[in-house]
Structure 1
Amino acid sequence: MSLILGVLGGMGPRATLEFLAKLQAYTPAERDQDHIRVLMDLNPQVPDRNVPGAAAGPVLAEMAGGLAGGGAEILAMPCNTAHAHADLIVRATGLPLIDMIGGAAKAAAETGARRVGVLGTKGALRLYREYLAARGLGLVTLPAERQGAFMALLYRIKAGDLSREACAEMAGLARELVAEGAEALIAGCTEAPLVLGPADTQVPLIDAGDLLAQRCVAVCLEHEPPPPI
């Protein structure tokens, strides 16, 4: 038997489906019954996490409560920016939440990098700055006008643009972070890996969503302990 995983998803929908595919791919299974039971709330109606005062937190807490009521024993949320509401989600349910940001920061430290570039929203960058600093690592970000270009590209990807042009633009932004001194990169938005892969960067690329899927499998199969509440 494995722990039942509750997933707060829909931020955005395509990235959530990619996360579920990775979750399935990382699970060692010879038959249907070997897979992890997953309860999913794929809710694209969560208020935009990038809009100040949008009040995503209460909606996420309500979603988490529904998953807990359905039998979830541990939670995951494949959205970096939404982790700003992690404490509220845990308090609302009493369930552990696997930390996406912490996992990516740990992986960045393990590369040996001292300065880490992050492709993410402003909210995600605030979280990564804190987590990386706790490990003695510096954060490299895009200048304001280029951060604006990243956000415009992000919303295009959410709208379904996975074109060569979108891939080239994301790779260009990654190169800019390396030029600014990043020795490793974190795809700190779940849409970024939809158009960016390790072959597109000159330094190690850490996919926070991919790491989250791996950790969910390990915890749900009880190969690793769940995070503390």
Structure 2
Amino acid sequence: MPSTSVVEPAAMRPVGILGGMGPEATILLMQKCLAAVASTATGPLDDADHIPLIVHQNPQVPSRIARLIEGQGPDPAPVLAQMARDLAAAGAQALAMPCNTAHHYADSLRAATALPFLDMITATADHLTQARARRIGMLASPATRLTGVFDRALAAQGLVPVWLSDDAPLLDLIRAVKAGQPLSGLAPRMTALCGLAVTRGADHLLVACTELSLLTDALPEGVPATDSLDCLTSQIVAFARPGVSSC
């Protein structure tokens, strides 16, 4: 009898997650990865269908807000670089970091290992271009604005960031999420800040802080919006499952 060959699916590639900034946002990323696989399933799922993640949940990374806004406290870069090396040693084949502000230190991560770094900022700018956005309402930490984390990526796509005239309320909201305040009570504040961004001329809202990703249910209806954490999820899915269409 002629022999038959079975084509095995491409092996999953594990992604290392630099997490803990904050812890709940890292868990949300993991949940989004689970949901992304489920959304592309054509039949019943088993454990082995899901993406292998090696998660370094390190809430002890020095405060990015203290360092970048207040100009005090230790530098997060050496801690992040060591986390990257730890993930590489654990078997990760790529790195991802669910914290927009911490992408200020992306070059330190790239220098720490030879692993590809799945850049959430660039992926987000690419998605906004595909969505035909133009003026981007930035729902982000003031540290993201002060360090220009998104500036180069947005400018390369001809996108214009629209910042609130006073981003102190955004920082207060981010801190409230980190403090564990009930999200239901914080939702009206999120909706109001979105409204201010639209008033300033934004035609597309960008959730550019993964703490605020926990409040996307409060985004106003009728205004296009993107969550950078979704863009990172898509990158992770695409890398981990070569040959399988991602979300």
Give the structure-2-normalised TM-score.
0.85
1:143-163 CA-to-partner distances (Å, cap 9, x unmatched) read 13xx11110111011111234
Partners in 2 of 1:210 and 1:84 — Cα distance? 19
1:54-91 CA-to-partner distances (Å, cap 9, x unmatched) read 31111000001000001111111000001111111111
Would you say 1:143 and 2:165 are equivalent positions? yes
Would you say 1:152 and 2:167 are equivalent positions? no
User: Please, which moves more after superposition, 165-174 or 25-34?
Assistant: 25-34
Partners in 1 of 2:82 and 2:140 — Cα distance? 25
Would you say 1:218 and 2:238 are equivalent positions? yes
Unaligned runs of 5+ in 2: 1-10
Give the structure-1-normalised TM-score.
0.91
Q: Which residue of 1 aligns with 2:75?
A: 55
SS of residue in 2 equivalent to 1:139: strand
1:95-136 CA-to-partner distances (Å, cap 9, x unmatched) read 111111111111222222221111111332311122111111
Would you say 1:3 and 2:18 are equivalent positions? no
Q: Which residue of 2 aligns with 1:23?
A: 33
Q: Which residue of 2 aligns with 1:227?
A: none
State whether residues 80 and 188 of structure 1, in contact with CA within 8 Å, keep that contact through their aligned partners in structure 2.
yes
1:181-217 CA-to-partner distances (Å, cap 9, x unmatched) read 0010110000112123375244211011122112201
Closer, same or farther in 2 for the Cα pair 1:48/1:199, shift >3 Å?
A: closer
Closer, same or farther in 2 for the Cα pair 1:37/1:79, shift >3 Å?
A: same
1:157-184 CA-to-partner distances (Å, cap 9, x unmatched) read 1111234331000111011001100010
State whether residues 12 and 44 of structure 1, in contact with CA within 8 Å, keep that contact through their aligned partners in structure 2.
yes
Q: Which residue of 2 aligns with 1:91?
A: 111
Q: Which has the larger radius of gyration?
A: 2
State whether residues 136 and 202 of structure 2, in contact with CA within 8 Å, keep that contact through their aligned partners in structure 1.
yes
Q: Which residue of 2 aligns with 1:111?
A: 131
Partners in 1 of 2:188 and 2:121 — Cα distance? 26
Unaligned runs of 5+ in 1: 225-229
Q: How many residues align?
A: 222
